[in-house]
Amino acid sequence: MRKSPLARALGGSALALGLVGGAVAVTTGAATAAADTTPEVAAEQLTALQRDLGLTEAEATDLVAQEAEARAIDADLRSALGDAFGGSRFDIATGELTVAVTDAAAADDVRAAGAEARVVTRGEDALDAMVADLNAEGATLDEGIAGWYPDTASDTVVITALEGATAAAEEFAAAAGVPADAVTVEETDEEPRLYADIVGGDPYIIDGSGRCSVGFATTTGFVTAGHCGETGTPVGTQDGSGTGTVTGSVFPGSDMGVVEADGNWTPVAAVNDYAGGTVAVAGSAESPEGASVCRSGSTTGWHCGVIEAHNQSVSYPEGTVSGLTQTDVCAEPGDSGGSWLSGDQAQGVTSGGSGDCTSGGTTYFQPVNPILEEFGATLLTG
């Protein structure tokens, strides 16, 4: 893959998206990712990447192309290597994709595909199995456990504990049967919370009172966060001109929701960039750890950051949610349900996090493809 001298590999600011007008085309298949060719990126998206990741215009353009290439290579290797695939991570500082393998013989295949290879002991499947064991054991924020996720970079499971709760995290791992040498404990002073009930990106009203953000358009409505409304909840646009109903919702456990729109509320395949334009959605190919990700919202505007981990379990006061993606992008109340994009590929909808967009923070999103699969919905692309 090409290398680009990116100025900084850091990001983190604000978020949540909505849907806006424009022509659309319909994809087929509930969660099928569109072919991820090099996307044509909106000027506002490049501007946000430059601002939040400290890039020049040329570097931001190169980054989008490199990440599109990385997604394609990642998908091919994941399929070709089978059980030997141990996870992947993209480095925005070098433009390189590193793929972990659990079989040294597979390293040559990785290099031949254009990625760096790293041989690991456990790998993604084994780490995910440990996360499943932790999920089954369960832990709460009251116990000092903020969350847990598989970290393919360290080849361990990371348990995030509140300050002074390292011993509790170690006991949690032991109770779940996860070996001590497979666990990394990180302490934090940030407590996860949900982002709801204040206007978000292209806001919608929940049962005439609370507010959340539209996620991504489907052929019959849109996807959003599950905590934004139970099944059967009526929803509508802020001015009342569009109406719909929550026809599926899962929370906690997952944070998935889907809305069926009435005929007066037309879904379109775009998200609001809050700079007077929109960003088109071309598919839903998942980006690897380390890749950039952007989102927008009426509370916090359009901002970008980096994907830090997949398959994160988060202990909210309302219950544990598993299968989230962790980012270093901040968020604030009103951003829940909003859209996340990597290039022109839909990534997920805002769940919650900690911190704010003044001091920075951590935000988690529910990946979009599992939502589409759960409810049999079809992503709209334009």
Distance (Å, whole) CA 381 – CA 209: 31
Helices 166-176 and 123-137 meet at what angle, rounded to 10?
Answer: 100
Numbered ranges of CATH 3.30.300.50 in the chain: 123-188
What dihedral do alpha carbons 325, 326, 332, 337 form, nearest 10°? 0
CA-wise closest residue to 190 among 16, 352, 11: 352
Check if 255 is active-site. Answer: yes
Residue 313, strand partner residues: 148
Catalytic position from the list 52, 255, 273, 328: 255
* CB of 4 closer than 8 Å to CB of 63: yes
DSSP, residue by residue, 337-352: T-EEEETTEEEEEEEE
The number of beta carbons lying within 10 Å of the beta carbon of residue 136 is 9
pLDDT of 268: 87
Classify domain 193-381 at the CATH superfamily level: Trypsin-like serine proteases (2.40.10.10)
Spans in the chain with pLDDT lower than 70 = 1-39, 195-201
- Quick one: CATH architecture of 123-188? 2-Layer Sandwich (3.30)
Mean pLDDT of the chain: 86
* Catalytic entry in 336, 339, 342, 351: 336
Q: Catalytic site residue 313? A: no
CA-based torsion, 77, 111, 309, 175: positive or negative: positive
| pLDDT confidence of residue 7 | 30
Q: What is the pLDDT of residue 39?
A: 64
pLDDT for the residue numbered 26: 25
pLDDT at 117: 98
Active-site choice (36, 227, 296, 322) = 227
Q: What is the pLDDT of residue 158?
A: 98
pLDDT at 366: 98
Question: What gap in Å lies between CA 127 and CA 119, rounded to an integer?
Answer: 15
Residue intervals in the chain for CATH 2.40.10.10 = 193-381
310 flagged as catalytic = no
